[in-house]
Amino acid sequence: MRTLNEETPSKIGSTVTVTGWVHRIRKHGSVTFIDLRDRTGVLQAVSGKWNPEVYAQLNELSPEDVVQLTGGVVARSEKSVNPDLATGTVELQVEQVTLLSQAVTPPFSVNDSTQSVDEELRLAYRYLDLRTERMQANLRARGRATSFLRHALDKEGFIEVETPLLTATTPEGARDFLVPTRHKGSFYALPQSPQQFKQLLMVGGIERYYQIARCLRDEDSRGDRQPEFTQLDMELSFVSQEDVLQLNEKLVIDLIRALYPEKRIQQQPFPRITHAEALERYGSDRPDMREDKNDPNLLAFCWVTDFPFFERTEEGGWTFTHNPFSMPHSDHLERFMAGEVEGILAQQYDLALNGFEIAGGSVRSHRPEVTEKVFTTMGHTPESIQAQFGHMLRAFTHGAPPHAGIAWGFDRLMMVLQNEPNIREVIAFPKTGEGRDPLMQAPGPVSDAQLRDLGLQSR
């Protein structure tokens, strides 16, 4: 038998062997209690003077030692039942102790959820931090959510496809991480999102794609931003904006019903508001519509639609607001093709939750001349369009289905659902606010030989 919480209460009278970490030790006169922890919970184990050898062994243990205990499962007396523990009706009368791995004194205690530990220290010893109840709960919830989503999307006829991490630069509005190669002067870029690949998959006849995708953007971290983060990314062929909104609304509601039955969604169907209305009424393009912002179980979803296609750059030119591959509003298409820019709306939508943007997407342009016009509007020359986006435009000349998609900021969604203050709490190995990993000590210097291979110099 391996699990504590799940099985011990039903094993009264039998002898079992359990393994785990020493969570807590309590010495009471001639009796010693060990709370033994595994991923399912905590079991109280006990020995005392009546078994001098085992008692001495228990007294030698310290928190976070990994042990195997064999003993009889006995019912606790009525007054020693612990209603807060799933195993609180039983305890293990230890007969045999095997120390599997000895632990040094941890830099912070794993068993005290009230202490506040410096985040740098938590991340430097993330493997200890992951043992805490909070991190165990967050990672478990995250795993359950991805598994739920995969299952639900598979049922909807989606195909999970992996796209490359080593690729060329993708215009998502942030700085790229570059990867030098041994071919001097030639670089890969890490994808800011699978945007181009998912559209190429539509040209490739996949029709319904999804991926739990890692995105990499070299931008300053904030509470809801990390240099690498996870999207639930999807793209569909032969659909309208309405289809994408409905499918995603159902998906997120089903997810919450299945995994967060205690949460209430303020309004269903989700309210929809245009970008202009959102700014006017809420002063934000991700409005928080909750009636009670302090209620941890209240969720307020809202779709924001009709984003302006372009916004002014600091230099006075134009850049896209969301995604250069979007399709202008159908009523605006003719005016856009005739050269109008100001006031042209895109078929772009965001999903806001409690004041966070948790998903965003658009109906794409599958017409090369429209996408080309987007890039000329942004000041690209025909040559630079060909050099940077020629492959996309060419693909669209080979029979491109109308398509649309969306990507969820999966870490942000999990942050809100888990009532966490930042996305680092729902990522197993996140970076600090400055983009460092104190555990792996990344980023860091590399050897001169490695630099030489890449034809690089470091100053």
Could you list the residues that contact ligand ASP (CB under 6 A)?
172, 193, 195, 323, 360-362, 405-407
Q: Tell me how far, at minimum, the Cβ of 277 lies from ligand ASP, in Å.
A: 21
Torsion of CA 299, 305, 309, 314, to 10 degrees: -40
Q: Tell me how far, at minimum, the Cβ of 408 lies from ligand ASP, in Å.
A: 9
Q: Tell me how far, at minimum, the Cβ of 364 lies from ligand ASP, in Å.
A: 8
Placement of tokens 């359990």 in the chain: 18
128 vs 358, beta carbon nearer ligand ASP: 358
163 vs 422, beta carbon nearer ligand ASP: 163
Determine the Cα–Cα distance for residues 458 and 14; give it in Å rounded to an integer: 65
195 vs 365, beta carbon nearer ligand ASP: 195
| CA–CA–CA angle 426, 349, 341 (5° rounding) | 130
Token pair in block for residue 351: 């999903």
Q: Tell me how far, at minimum, the Cβ of 194 lies from ligand ASP, in Å.
A: 7
Token pair in block for residue 278: 């959102």
Determine the Cα–Cα distance for residues 55 and 29; give it in Å rounded to an integer: 12
Placement of tokens 């203050």 in the chain: 421
Neighbours of 318 (CB within 10 A): 18
Determine the Cα–Cα distance for residues 150 and 148; give it in Å rounded to an integer: 6
Token pair in block for residue 372: 């080309």
71 vs 360, beta carbon nearer ligand ASP: 360
Please provide the distance, in angstroms rounded to a whole number, between the alpha carbons at the two ends of the chain: 57
Q: Are 195 and 325 in contact (CB under 8 A)?
A: yes
Least Cα distance to 85 among 194, 152, 6 occurs for 6
124 vs 245, beta carbon nearer ligand ASP: 245
195 vs 221, beta carbon nearer ligand ASP: 195
Q: Tell me how far, at minimum, the Cβ of 199 lies from ligand ASP, in Å.
A: 9
Q: Tell me how far, at minimum, the Cβ of 323 lies from ligand ASP, in Å.
A: 5
Q: Tell me how far, at minimum, the Cβ of 407 lies from ligand ASP, in Å.
A: 4
52 class by beta-carbon count within 10 Å (0-12 exposed, 13-18 middle, 19+ buried): exposed
132 vs 348, beta carbon nearer ligand ASP: 348
Least Cα distance to 248 among 384, 353, 371 occurs for 353
Least Cα distance to 17 among 61, 60, 70, 83 occurs for 70
Q: Tell me how far, at minimum, the Cβ of 363 lies from ligand ASP, in Å.
A: 10
72 class by beta-carbon count within 10 Å (0-12 exposed, 13-18 middle, 19+ buried): middle
Q: Are 47 and 33 in contact (CB under 8 A)?
A: no
Determine the Cα–Cα distance for residues 369 and 366; give it in Å rounded to an integer: 9
Q: Are 313 and 294 in contact (CB under 8 A)?
A: no
57 vs 195, beta carbon nearer ligand ASP: 195
Q: Tell me how far, at minimum, the Cβ of 220 lies from ligand ASP, in Å.
A: 17
Which amino acid makes up residue 326? Answer: S
406 vs 426, beta carbon nearer ligand ASP: 406
46 vs 213, beta carbon nearer ligand ASP: 213
Q: Tell me how far, at minimum, the Cβ of 286 lies from ligand ASP, in Å.
A: 13
